Chains A and B, each alone.
Chain A
Amino acid sequence: MAVRLRVNPITCAGHGLCAELLPERVTLDEWHYPVVSGEPVPPELEPLARRAVTDCPALALLLERAR
């Protein structure tokens, strides 16, 4: 089951941990808020993606099924 990352822009406070853990899918904009790629997360990156989700201090990162 392919998954992709999504950020809840309201709860996101711009801590930036996600971009450090998963630079392949998340970069930071000039205000230090994450720009999350909507591409499916490949299986080899899934463990890191899950860690980014659980480690987000604002619980603003979600993994959802890619449609």
Chain B
Amino acid sequence: MTSATTMAWPAPAVNESPGLPRLLPPGALDLDGHVQAYGALCYSGAPRELIEEIRVAGLTGRGGAGFPAAVKMTAVADRRGRPVVVGNGAEGEPASHKDRHLLWLAPHLVLDGLQLAAEAVGARRAYLYVHGHDWLLRGLGHALAERSAARWDRIAVEIVAAPPRFLAGEESALASRVGGGLALPTFKRPPVFERGVGGAPTLVQNVETLAHMALIARFGAAWFRQVGTAAEPGSMLVTAHRADGDSLVSEVPIGAPLAAVLDLGRQPVQAVLAGGYHGAWIPAAQAAALPLANAALRQAGASLGAGVLAALPADRCGLAETAGVLRYLAAESAGQCGPCLNGLPRIAAAFSALSRPGAGRRYLADLERWSGLVAGRGACHHPDGTVRLVRSALAVFSDELEWHLAGRCTAEPPAGDLGSAGEPGLAAVPFLPLPAGDSGSLMPAPPRHGWR
């Protein structure tokens, strides 16, 4: 797995739609380059004006939940009290690189969006919440200094470092951390938009969502809708892990053929993971015919999530890969809620047992019971997302599961090559990226671009 993502310019064939990519310049843009590429930042001049344009544009959140951005902004603007705006760039998902990629290449687009969102909801405090990796903090600090020197921003932006944990970007964990507490999910009553950072109404938007806002403010809703589908307009950033081991961040129109984004057909693929580690597996044949849009993915039991896609090569064991991810997810439980604390490690252990040939069928009954016991019983959606992955893996890899129960793994390496774990079916290096013990490895090296 390549750790640093690669970006082509002009972008690959999937980007044949006019004007794409919109968000990803070929190299990191400083403020001058940013103004040349996109034009100057234009404030609307009045609160709420941009919200209407965003509503017409049909922009949805790009952090995973896909909630309509204008609805969220209106809810915050309607509250009494001075709101706070937070750009969420915490990308705890090990398989996702798109947010850090965007923050490196086009920091000013994100920061423009943050200012505009603050103006739209009437906020006087703004934060950018990102993983505290040196190269990223340096780059963003540099960008903020440029804006300060040019008197570009109306309100100051404070950068807050997120710990390198899977759940650090969860909305209530973010509100807690930005407010000076721990980056742990809270019991969201009242919700974050009502009482978030320091008790203020808080607008949390993913950094890619903010970048889209910065462009909608410049070019308008009709321009935004020139790509994408009528129901799901615009473009989106994806992190695509192709079967040949290549990972890349690219910007695609929503509705683009999934097969093109993942370059399916080049080598045998058995299944596609859509939506990341809280997402779902789809059989390869079914995935190859799907457009990259929630309307289609939901019918296949999946969703776009934060744009993470992975094509599992045919010679990998989907059960072993899923087991590795489940062990990671169990370890990433905040450990605050009894059902998640108790259930996730048991689910991961039972799934790991089934991922090895010759496991007993009783583990299946345990898995089903525990999955039912944890779903919907956490303060956040971590148990729900984990169970979604479990259920889709058991369904999509059901044939392989029968082989395992019968004592064989079809992905077993040739005799004598047992992999580092010394167990058949477990490849030396998992296909799906996971941090290697040390949580610092969640953050790879910066994209291969320098400051200009």
A residues with a Cβ closer than 8 A to B are 8-14, 29-33, 35
Contact = CB atoms under 8 A, between A and B. Distances in A.
A8 to B, nearest CB: 5
A31 B379 contact: no
Interface in B139-193: 185-187, 189
Contacts of A11: 187
A11 B340 CA distance: 13
Interface stretch (B16-24, B79-87, B331-339): B331-339
Contacts of B379: 8-10
Contacts of B339: 9, 29, 31, 33
Contacts of B189: 8
Contact of B336 (A9, A32, A33): A9
Contacts of B373: 29-30, 35
B342 A9 contact: no
A10 B172 CA distance: 13
Contacts of B340: 9
A9 B186 contact: no
Given A10-B187, A10-B337, 14 more contacts: A8-B187, A8-B189, A8-B379, A9-B336, A9-B338, A10-B186, A10-B336, A12-B337, A14-B338, A30-B373, A31-B339, A31-B342, A33-B338, A33-B339
Contacts of B338: 9, 12-14, 31-33
Interface of B: 185-187, 189, 336-340, 342-343, 373, 377-379
A60 to B, nearest CB: 9
Contacts of A13: 338
Contacts of B337: 9-10, 12
A15 B336 CA distance: 15
Nearest to B342: A31
A4 to B, nearest CB: 14
12 contacts: A9-B187, A9-B339, A9-B377, A9-B378, A10-B185, A10-B187, A14-B338, A31-B338, A33-B339, A33-B342, A33-B377, A35-B377
Nearest to A62: B189
A14 B342 CA distance: 12
A30 B338 CA distance: 11
